[in-house]
């Protein structure tokens, strides 16, 4: 029996993630206890404590935030239940509290996106940024990585930055206003969004303002969800950094190995995402379509 | 004419409108071209149009919410109902239905059904409105996600997308939809006695009962109207992005809608209502949102600005605040 | 003019509401150990004067002095601390708290810093027994009828009074016996040196207990008089500014009633609280309901109107069996009920006088046949004139009217709806002498047009005056039926007391 | 049996029923450990909901509690990390700050005659906005004092644990019962909720009481924030989103009327416990997808409230 505490179902990406964990558990014949925390850390902590009370064999957590896990992880440890952290990171100073973390490096994702953009524009670019939810670790990390890179280029700067809360509708709405504020957006060179959903909304706003997304304004984002491939194909989006939702497999690998007695795991298995661009998206596109 | 001589009704409606103007003026200071409206390919184009267009969903919710609040209730489920209606329409389209009447009808039906559930719980079961509609607020989003299997269902359907991105008479279609809904509701409420009954039930449910007004039925009706309005808003939201995002469509919009109604001067205890002023309230909220976006202030200050603006607008409406200002002025005048 | 024994003195008090000058330079002097009547038509400004004295309203001008020093109470709490206790016009108690809590709110007995519930309940019980109220003081207030609530409010006010006790229409829904016992208490307080202000519309009550009288008209002082030297006729003409014409009418006797057709019949009808009883009303007949408080008159009205469900027996209107599942059916069938508790069941507070008046008629017509605005205004103007409702504007919210005027609006609401059978539960509560006569006349005229009327009233005088038949209730069952010339205050009293 | 307490009996029996159903269905459910977990996991909610009970009893509502919880957590963690404060003065600081914040909202509500729903909604935006300005990122708390307090508690049989937060919550509960039912202040709160106008005419100091009620609610919210910080060892501006709705739901499930004037503090405790049992039940089941989780929570809420209404109604008739 494995308990899996998921953040919630706030995006399509998240749902795909949940489903793939379930499918993977099914495939391996694992009895999965799924718990949805509805974006609340307190619910996640409750869920983990209830897993402990149920006496599960292992726990997988996709944490809402990075901090605040020490007390409950210590409790799991007292109950000798191994914990695997997936998706987001956790910040605890004692890495004995979990078996391993399988997580992306948000800062690195930001860097990748920035590097691609700087290459494409020779470091000359007025950028609009659509941030994720204020305070979320993904938004903070991606912003940090991106800004670190473009800080090295004289000609690149972020002219406007607003939050669009990771959603498509907000992406469109915010972009619409920003375009107006920037005199129709003709001076803008690129749009950088912290996830694909916002980019998908924003490209509609760009199109409705009479510009061609992907040409007049370059678009770069993170996640590489299915819908972004159609946009890549249509030339509306230029690049997206991959963040795979298929974390179930690796997590169960670790758990199985642990239960077989293995103990020395790498403490952070970084999920290294590819970056998909106009040049290299086709194979993946075909692959996903065939699934 | 002096302010003191104005009738209370006029006074009441004055402040929301002044509030809106102040906000719009603030926008001009931030971005000078705010008021410029161009005509591009026969369409009006400009920030003012954006404010109206983007305010449309909240304005629709506010129309329904106004009636609910007038009966002394509140409808927390509208955000979730938006998601359900969007999901139903998207589901129909993706399921191969091409007939626009069926697609829209499906969404509306979902809205009425939701409103019926709410109205039944409140009116006939006697459950307190906040809790009764909280049930559907929680479960409704689940239902929408269930329909979509938790994914964003993207679709292409020209006629349906017209709801969100179409233009009529040079105006974005959502604006037209708000106007139509407003006129219909206004006719229903002011050209028949329904508005009177709604206010009566809100003013004193027990007395209305003694007059023989069927308060249960009235409550059922207003929740159904609210559900309908939410469904239209939900379909606009889905049509706008060409997809149904059950996870986020209408999220927390119920609070905006309630806020709009209160800024419009209605009391949450029920009684007097003005659909028009609620729409003004919705415009104020959207103008504020756009002001914040245009101002270029870092997003972490968004909520602080919003809080400050709400308090200022509310104070502007408070008679006691006017009295204080008057006293303050008098004292200042006496000193100098 | 103020002598040493003046306890409360008001000089040139002014109070304005937006658009209304409710008090225009009023003087008022209350001495120690006197009962002082404050009289005037509905809307004359009595309640406003009281609210100014007790800090509910801030005065716009004038002086209020207690024991010679000027006071500025900011709220009732301040006034209470100064020794002024008040029983306001509408029952202003807290429906959700227990009876004992209501009596002792803000002066709860404590032990070790904790409220001593035991003692509070005991003392409340003892206090109320003094008013012949043998009730469970730990039950919430709203489980008792308005009349009981009014007694509780009086008990609270009286038990708090230190220097001044103000009673604003305390007797409006009390019957003779309770009134008498209240008067005994008032006299007792007077003898202990407390100044009492007493507002009422019953003139004989004024003469029964009051020493002096102050009369207001339209917010101005008419004069201050010694009760002993002012004749009732002069009193009335001072109040109204003109003479009062008395209406006389013929009773429809038993014989004649039989020739008329029966409009409404209740056969062995009973509800959860009422014992089965028969009652019938003919067209053109006024049937009075008499009884002590809690005797079940209100319950009977609610039963007939369909607020409560008929658990047994059957009801007939125009010889057709009726059974209402909601009040709307009753209204459409031609019934109307003017409820006893006007604050809770009567007024639609924030809505205008016009809207309050047309509501019942509109409801009868159905929601789609909206009464044209012009017609609404006409109706409202008409009743404002006929019932002498003191207001400048029919668009004013009803909760800004004086209590008596609100009652008139509620009456107008049902008159406008022209029902076949009208149920009036304490219809003239708080209505002044001038309008009282007017209303009785109006009711008579309606009866001549074939309306049947069931009137529950605690005012025997009123019942005797216009009822054709009186049904006497006791302990939630019918105990007697008097008609024609049998009806007199005496016979009714005897029936109530159970000595028929 | 006193009819006044009927909703209370109904609520508590339904809780017991729900717990029994879970115990029969799942092994390890009907244990003292799971029962105590209900308290540990919901201590912060119990405290916040008790504050909310007072507000609702007075006929108002307080939407700012969730944000206040987040704000006090953020302030504490920043004070500890960046300014090197000891937790105790930091606690005192946020408690005072919270109380003032509530008092300010109460004052605006009373003096400007504005509606509580909206004023506290603005308060909710304000507190949440302020916490993201203080720190956007989640700030971890690492202080010996925290470890010690978190460790404090009593081992009960069956691996159950009576921890410091549970103890705090129970103390708050006792305090609140005393305040609500054995002080003059309590009577005033009920009175204002019953009919504010009458209460004023009976001499209840409306201004003082209204301001105190909101100050009390925010004080409890700040305290709840402290307990929450022990629960998560961090301060985060996005923490406790929507807790106000949970608190309101708990209060109402506990039998308190939203219109004010009727209800009991103990009811609120059962309200929280019932919501906690529902959550525990769902996570023991462990097969529900995200959306079914929501639907089932909604359905259970409905079944529960309908049952409660039915029983109370039948009880008052009989
Ligand atoms: N809150 C208010 N706002 C506006 N006008 C008011 C308000 N209260 C009273 N008035 C007006 O003041 C006048 C005096 O009212 P008041 O209640 O003092 O009359 P009253 O003498 O007590 O009459 P009644 O015998 O009917 O109780 C009335 O014309 C009434 O309309
Ligand atoms: N003195 C009393 N003692 C106990 N219960 C009472 C008393 N008076 C009234 N009640 C309660 O109030 C209920 C309502 O009585 P109802 O209002 O029908 O009486 P009523 O004849 O209209 O008298 P009134 O309205 O003058 O009080 C009764 O069913 C009873 O339960
Ligand atoms: Mg009066
Ligand atoms: Mg009665």
Complex ipTM: 0.89
State yes or no: pLDDT of B101 exceeds 90. Answer: yes
Instruction: Read off the pLDDT band of A61 (50, 70, 90).
Output: very high
What is the per-residue pLDDT for B332?
A: 65
pLDDT digits (tens, 9 = 90+) for C437-477: 778 877 778 888 888 889 898 888 888 887 888 999 888 88
Instruction: Read off the pLDDT band of B13 (50, 70, 90).
Output: confident
Short-list D166, D3, D139, D146, CA closest to D73: D139
Most A CBs within 10 A among B50, B236, B299, hence the mutation to make, goes to B299
Percent of the residues in chain B that have a pLDDT greater than 70, as a whole number:
96
Phi first, then psi: what are they for A212, rounded to 5°?
-105, 110
Is C121 a pocket residue for ligand 2 (Cβ < 6 Å)? no
Pocket test for ligand 2, best of C125, C135, C145, C274 (most atoms within 8 A of CB): C145
Instruction: Read off the pLDDT band of C2 (50, 70, 90).
Output: very low
Question: Average pLDDT, stretch B85-92?
Answer: 94
User: Where would I find the H helices in chain B?
Assistant: 8-30, 47-70, 78-94, 100-119, 129-148, 158-165, 173-190, 194-203, 205-211, 215-241, 253-263, 275-295, 302-317, 319-335
What are the DSSP calls for B141-188, one per residue?
Answer: HHHHHHHHTTSEEE---HHHHHHHH-EETTEEHHHHHHHHHHHHHHHH
Whether residues A131 and B299 touch (CB distance < 8 A) is answered with: yes
CA distance linking residue A275 with residue A277, whole number of Å: 6
pLDDT digits (tens, 9 = 90+) for C184-214: 889 988 998 899 999 998 888 889 899 999 9
| Contact (Cβ atoms closer than 8 angstroms) between residue D182 and residue D193 | no
pLDDT digits (tens, 9 = 90+) for C401-416: 888 889 889 989 998 9
Q: What's the pTM value of the predicted model, to 2 decimals?
A: 0.91
CA distance linking residue C448 with residue C284, whole number of Å: 6
Cβ–Cβ contacts within 10 Å for residue C157, how many?
A: 21
What is the per-residue pLDDT for D316?
A: 65
State yes or no: pLDDT of B141 exceeds 80. Answer: yes
* Architecture of the domain spanning C242-334+420-500: 3-Layer(aba) Sandwich (3.40)
Pocket test for ligand 1, best of C41, C48, C217, C408 (most atoms within 8 A of CB): C48
CA distance linking residue C430 with residue C452, whole number of Å: 24
Q: Do chains B and C touch (3 or more CB pairs under 8 A)?
A: yes
D:245-264 residues touching chain C, CB 8 A cutoff: 261-262
What is the per-residue pLDDT for C1?
A: 44
Short-list D198, B208, B215, B196, CA closest to C339: B208
CA distance linking residue A83 with residue A92, whole number of Å: 13
Q: Which two tokens mark B175?
A: 């604006």
CA distance linking residue D248 with residue D63, whole number of Å: 9
Pocket test for ligand 2, best of C147, C294, C346 (most atoms within 8 A of CB): C294
Phi first, then psi: what are they for C60, rounded to 5°?
-90, -10
What is the per-residue pLDDT for C143?
A: 86
| Lookup result for tokens 């509408």 | C90
CA distance linking residue A60 with residue A65, whole number of Å: 15
Instruction: Read off the pLDDT band of B8 (50, 70, 90).
Output: low
Is C298 a pocket residue for ligand 2 (Cβ < 6 Å)? yes
| Contact (Cβ atoms closer than 8 angstroms) between residue B89 and residue B106 | yes
Short-list A153, A238, A152, A232, CA closest to A193: A238
* Architecture of the domain spanning C3-240: 3-Layer(aba) Sandwich (3.40)
Cβ–Cβ contacts within 10 Å for residue D205, how many?
A: 19
Cα-based distances in Å from C273 to C135, C296, D311: 17, 8, 21
Give helix then strand counts, H and E, for chain C.
17, 22
- Minimal Cα–Cα distance from B91 to chain A, Å? 16
Which of the residue ranges B226-235, B298-307, D88-97, D125-134 would you say has the lowest mean pLDDT? Answer: B298-307
B325 interfaces chain D, CB cutoff of 8 Å = no
Closest C-alpha residue for ligand 1 atom 18: C45
Cα-based distances in Å from D310 to B157, C313, D302, D315: 47, 28, 12, 8
Identify the DSSP state of C397. B
Whether residues B211 and C326 touch (CB distance < 8 A) is answered with: no
Instruction: Read off the pLDDT band of D291 (50, 70, 90).
Output: confident
State yes or no: pLDDT of D292 exceeds 60. Answer: yes
CA distance linking residue C454 with residue C335, whole number of Å: 11
Instruction: Read off the pLDDT band of D1 (50, 70, 90).
Output: very low
Count chain A–chain D contacts defined by CB atoms under 8 A: 123
| Contact (Cβ atoms closer than 8 angstroms) between residue C357 and residue C416 | yes
What is the per-residue pLDDT for B221?
A: 95
User: Which of C307, C363, C369 has its CB closest to that of B213?
Assistant: C363
B:112-131 residues touching chain D, CB 8 A cutoff: 121, 125-128, 130-131
User: Where would I find the H helices in C340-452?
Assistant: 353-365, 373-386, 403-417, 433-448
Angle at D121 between CA D201 and CA D217, to 5 degrees: 60
What is the per-residue pLDDT for B336?
A: 44
Most D CBs within 10 A among C97, C166, C311, C349, hence the mutation to make, goes to C97
pLDDT digits (tens, 9 = 90+) for B232-241: 999 999 999 9
Instruction: Read off the pLDDT band of D188 (50, 70, 90).
Output: very high
Short-list A160, A203, A210, A163, CA closest to A182: A160
CA distance linking residue A256 with residue A242, whole number of Å: 27
State yes or no: pLDDT of B2 exceeds 70. Answer: no
User: Which of C92, C108, C114 has its CB closest to that of D187?
Assistant: C108
Count chain B–chain C contacts defined by CB atoms under 8 A: 83
Short-list A158, A163, A161, CA closest to A126: A158
Beta-sheet pairing, C335-338 with C421-425: parallel
CA distance linking residue A126 with residue A124, whole number of Å: 7
Q: Which residue has the higher pLDDT, D136 or D72?
A: D72
State yes or no: pLDDT of D137 exceeds 90. Answer: no
| Contact (Cβ atoms closer than 8 angstroms) between residue D59 and residue A60 | no
Cα-based distances in Å from D238 to D87, D121, D124, D132, D226: 21, 16, 12, 8, 15
Short-list C35, C34, C437, CA closest to C248: C437
CA distance linking residue B195 with residue C359, whole number of Å: 11
Question: Chain centroid to CA A171: how far?
Answer: 17
Beta-sheet pairing, C286-291 with C469-474: parallel
Q: Which ligand sits nearest to residue C407's alpha carbon?
A: 1
Short-list D202, D251, D218, D201, CA closest to D59: D251
Strand segments, DSSP code E, in chain D are 139-140, 153-156, 160-163, 234-235
State yes or no: pLDDT of C371 exceeds 80. Answer: yes
Instruction: Report CA(C20)–ligand 1 centroid distance (Å).
Output: 9
State yes or no: pLDDT of D43 exceeds 50. Answer: yes
Residue-averaged pLDDT of chain C = 86
Short-list C111, C108, C98, CA closest to C137: C98
Q: Which two tokens mark B292?
A: 């914040």
What is the per-residue pLDDT for B112?
A: 96
- Nearest residue in D to A134, CA atom: D136
Q: At what angle do helices C117-129 and C146-160 cross, to 10 degrees?
A: 110
State yes or no: pLDDT of A144 exceeds 90. Answer: yes
Domain boundaries, chain C: 3-240, 242-334+420-500, 353-418
State yes or no: pLDDT of B207 exceeds 70. Answer: yes
Which of the residue ranges C13-27, C433-447, D265-279 would you say has the lowest mean pLDDT? Answer: C433-447
What are the DSSP calls for D138-160, one per residue?
Answer: -EE---HHHHHHHH-EEEEGGGE
Question: Average pLDDT, stretch B136-162?
Answer: 90
Residues A97, A103, A106, A112: is their CA dihedral positive or negative?
positive
Cβ–Cβ contacts within 10 Å for residue D20, how many?
A: 12
Is C339 a pocket residue for ligand 2 (Cβ < 6 Å)? no
Q: Which two tokens mark D116?
A: 């509580």
Q: Do chains C and A touch (3 or more CB pairs under 8 A)?
A: no
What is the per-residue pLDDT for C254?
A: 46
Question: Average pLDDT, stretch C303-309?
Answer: 85
Question: Average pLDDT, stretch A234-242?
Answer: 92
pLDDT digits (tens, 9 = 90+) for D212-228: 999 999 999 999 999 99
Instruction: Read off the pLDDT band of C342 (50, 70, 90).
Output: confident
Whether residues C328 and B196 touch (CB distance < 8 A) is answered with: no
Chain D residues whose CB is inside 8 A of the A3 CB are 283, 286
Same fold, C3-240 and C242-334+420-500: yes
Instruction: Read off the pLDDT band of D317 (50, 70, 90).
Output: low
- Minimal Cα–Cα distance from C450 to chain D, Å? 39
Q: Which domain holds residue D268?
A: 3-317
Sheet holding C277-282: strands in order across? Answer: C277-282, C262-270, C312-317, C320-322
CATH of the domain at D98: 1.10.3470
């Amino acid at each position: 029996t494995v308990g899996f505490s998921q953040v919630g179902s706030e995006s399509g990406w998240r749902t795909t993630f949940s489903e793939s964990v379930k499918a993977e558990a099914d495939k391996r014949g694992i009895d999965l206890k799924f718990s949805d925390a509805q974006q609340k850390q307190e619910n996640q902590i409750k869920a983990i404590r209830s897993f402990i009370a149920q006496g599960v064999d292992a726990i997988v957590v996709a944490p809402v935030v990075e901090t605040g896990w020490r007390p409950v992880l210590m409790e799991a440890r007292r109950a000798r239940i191994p914990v695997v952290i997936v998706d987001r990171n956790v910040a605890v100073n004692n890495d004995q509290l979990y078996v391993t973390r399988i997580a992306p490096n948000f800062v690195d994702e930001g860097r990748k996106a920035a590097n691609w953009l700087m290459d494409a524009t020779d470091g000359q670019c007025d950028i609009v940024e659509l941030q994720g939810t204020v305070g979320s670790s993904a938004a903070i990390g991606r912003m940090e990585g991106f800004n670190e890179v473009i800080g090295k280029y004289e000609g690149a700067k972020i002219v406007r930055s607003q939050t669009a809360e990771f959603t498509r509708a907000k992406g469109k709405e915010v972009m619409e206003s920003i375009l107006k504020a920037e005199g129709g957006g003709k001076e803008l060179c690129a749009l950088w969004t912290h996830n694909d959903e916002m980019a998908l909304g924003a490209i509609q706003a760009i199109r409705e303002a009479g510009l061609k997304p992907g040409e007049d304004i370059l678009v770069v984002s993170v996640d590489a969800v299915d819908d972004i491939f159609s946009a890549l194909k249509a030339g509306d989006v230029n690049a997206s950094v991959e963040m795979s939702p298929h974390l179930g497999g690796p997590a169960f690998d670790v758990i199985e190995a642990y239960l077989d007695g293995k103990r020395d795991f790498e403490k952070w298995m970084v999920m290294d995402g590819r970056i998909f661009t106009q040049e290299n998206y086709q194979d993946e596109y075909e692959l996903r379509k065939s699934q | 004419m002096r302010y003191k001589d104005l009738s209370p009704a006029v006074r009441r409606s004055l402040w929301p409108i002044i509030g809106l103007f102040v906000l719009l003026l603030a926008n001009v200071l931030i971005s000078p071209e705010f008021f410029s409206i161009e005509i591009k390919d026969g369409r009006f184009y400009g920030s003012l149009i954006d404010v109206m267009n983007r305010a449309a969903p909240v304005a629709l919710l506010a129309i329904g919410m106004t009636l609910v609040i007038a009966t002394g209730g509140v409808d927390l489920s509208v955000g979730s109902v938006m998601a359900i209606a969007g999901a139903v329409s998207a589901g129909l389209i993706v399921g191969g239905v091409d007939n626009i009447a069926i697609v829209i009808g499906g969404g509306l039906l979902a809205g009425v059904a939701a409103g019926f559930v709410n109205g039944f719980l409140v009116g006939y079961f006697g459950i307190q409105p906040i809790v009764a509609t909280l049930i559907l607020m929680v479960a409704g989003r689940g239902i929408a996600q269930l329909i979509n299997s938790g994914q964003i269902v993207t679709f292409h359907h020209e006629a349906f997308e017209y709801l969100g991105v179409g233009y009529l008479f040079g105006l974005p279609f959502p604006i037209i939809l708000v106007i139509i809904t407003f006129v219909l509701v206004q006719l229903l409420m002011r050209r028949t006695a329904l508005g009177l009954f709604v206010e009566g039930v809100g003013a004193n449910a027990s007395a209305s009962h003694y007059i023989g007004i069927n308060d249960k039925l009235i409550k059922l009706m207003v929740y159904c109207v609210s559900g309908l309005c939410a469904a239209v808003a939900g379909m606009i939201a889905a049509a706008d992005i060409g997809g149904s995002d059950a996870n986020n469509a209408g999220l927390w919009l119920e609070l905006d809608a309630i806020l709009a109604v209160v800024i419009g001067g209605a009391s949450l205890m029920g009684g007097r209502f003005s659909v028009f002023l609620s729409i003004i309230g919705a415009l104020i909220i959207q103008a504020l949102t756009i002001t914040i976006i245009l101002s270029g202030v870092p997003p972490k200050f968004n909520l602080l600005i919003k809080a400050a603006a709400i308090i200022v607008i509310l104070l502007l409406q408070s008679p006691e605040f006017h009295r204080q200002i008057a006293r303050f002025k008098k004292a200042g005048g006496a000193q100098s | 003019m103020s002598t040493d024994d003046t306890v409360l003195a008001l000089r040139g008090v002014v109070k304005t509401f937006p658009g209304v000058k409710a008090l225009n330079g009023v003087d008022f002097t209350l001495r120690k150990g006197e009962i002082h009547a404050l009289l005037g038509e509905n809307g004359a400004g009595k309640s406003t004067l009281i609210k100014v004295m007790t800090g509910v309203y801030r005065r716009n001008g004038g002086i209020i002095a207690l024991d010679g020093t000027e006071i500025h109470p900011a709220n009732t709490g301040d006034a209470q601390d100064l020794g002024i206790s008040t029983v306001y016009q509408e029952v202003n108690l807290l429906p959700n708290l227990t009876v004992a809590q209501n009596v002792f709110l803000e002066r709860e007995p404590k032990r070790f810093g904790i409220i001593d519930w035991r003692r509070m309940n005991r003392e409340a019980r003892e206090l109320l027994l003094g008013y012949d109220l043998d009730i469970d003081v730990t039950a919430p207030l709203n489980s008792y009828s308005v009349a009981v609530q009014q007694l509780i409010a009086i008990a609270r006010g009286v038990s708090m009074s230190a220097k001044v006790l103000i009673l604003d229409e305390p007797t409006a829904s009390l019957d003779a016996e309770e009134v008498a016992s209240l008067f005994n208490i008032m006299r007792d307080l007077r003898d202990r040196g407390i100044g009492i202000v007493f507002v009422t519309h019953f003139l004989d009550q004024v003469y029964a207990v009051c020493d002096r009288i102050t009369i207001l008209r339209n917010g101005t002082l008419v004069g201050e008089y010694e009760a002993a030297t002012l004749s009732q006729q002069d009193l009335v003409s001072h109040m109204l500014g003109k003479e009062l014409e008395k209406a006389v009418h013929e009773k429809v006797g038993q014989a004649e009633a039989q020739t008329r057709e029966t409009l409404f019949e209740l056969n062995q009808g009973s509800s959860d609280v009422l014992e089965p009883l028969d009652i019938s009303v003919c067209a053109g007949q006024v049937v009075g309901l008499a009884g002590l408080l809690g005797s079940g008159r209100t319950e009977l009205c609610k039963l007939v109107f369909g607020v409560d469900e008929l658990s047994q027996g059957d009801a007939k209107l125009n010889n057709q069996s009726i059974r209402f599942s909601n009040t709307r059916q009753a209204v459409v069938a031609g019934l109307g009920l003017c409820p006893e508790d006007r604050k809770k069941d009567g007024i639609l507070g924030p809505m205008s006088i016009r809207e309050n008046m047309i509501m019942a008629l509109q409801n009868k017509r159905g929601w789609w046949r909206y009464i044209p605005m012009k017609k609404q205004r006409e109706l409202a103007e008409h009743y404002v004139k006929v019932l002498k409702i003191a207001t400048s504007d029919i668009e004013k919210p009803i909760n800004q009217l004086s209590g008596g005027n609100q009652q008139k609006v509620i009456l107008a609401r049902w008159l406008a709806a022209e029902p076949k059978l009208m149920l009036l539960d304490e219809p003239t509560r708080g209505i002044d002498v001038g309008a009282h006569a007017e209303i009785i006349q109006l009711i008579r005229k309606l009866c001549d047009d074939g309306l049947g009327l069931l009137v529950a009233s605690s005012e025997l005088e009123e019942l005797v005056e216009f009822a054709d038949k009186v049904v006497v209730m006791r302990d939630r069952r019918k105990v007697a039926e008097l008609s024609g010339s049998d009806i007199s205050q005496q016979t009714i009293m005897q029936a109530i007391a159970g000595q028929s | 049996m006193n009819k006044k307490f009927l909703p209370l009996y109904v609520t508590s029996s339904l809780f017991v029923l729900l717990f029994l159903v879970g115990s029969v269905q799942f092994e390890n459910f009907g244990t003292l450990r799971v029962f105590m977990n209900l308290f540990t996991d919901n201590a912060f909610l119990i405290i916040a909901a008790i504050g909310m009970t007072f507000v609702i009893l007075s006929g108002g509502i307080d939407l700012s509690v969730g944000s206040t919880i987040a704000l006090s957590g953020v302030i504490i963690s920043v004070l500890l990390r960046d300014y090197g404060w000891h937790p105790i003065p930091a606690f005192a600081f946020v408690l005072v700050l919270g109380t003032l914040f509530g008092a300010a909202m109460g004052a605006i509500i009373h003096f400007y005659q504005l509606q509580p729903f909206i004023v506290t909604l603005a308060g909710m935006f304000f507190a949440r906005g302020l916490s993201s300005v203080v720190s956007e990122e989640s700030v971890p708390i690492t202080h010996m004092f925290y470890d010690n307090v978190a460790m404090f508690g009593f081992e009960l049989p069956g691996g159950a644990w009576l921890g410091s937060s549970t103890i705090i919550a129970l103390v708050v509960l006792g305090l609140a019962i005393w305040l609500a039912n054995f002080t003059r202040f309590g009577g005033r709160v009920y009175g204002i909720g019953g009919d504010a106008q009458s209460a004023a005419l009976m001499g209840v100091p409306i201004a003082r009481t209204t301001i105190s009620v909101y100050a009390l609610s925010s004080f409890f919210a700040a305290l709840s924030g402290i307990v929450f910080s022990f629960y998560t060892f961090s301060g985060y501006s996005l923490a406790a989103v929507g807790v106000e709705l949970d608190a309101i739901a708990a209060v109402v499930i506990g039998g308190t009327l939203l219109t004010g004037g009727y209800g009991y503090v103990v009811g609120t405790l059962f309200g929280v416990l019932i919501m906690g049992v529902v959550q525990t039940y769902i996570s023991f089941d462990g097969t529900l997808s995200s959306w079914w989780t929501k639907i089932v929570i909604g359905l259970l809420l409905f079944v529960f409230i309908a049952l409660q209404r039915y029983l109370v109604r039948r009880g008052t008739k009989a």
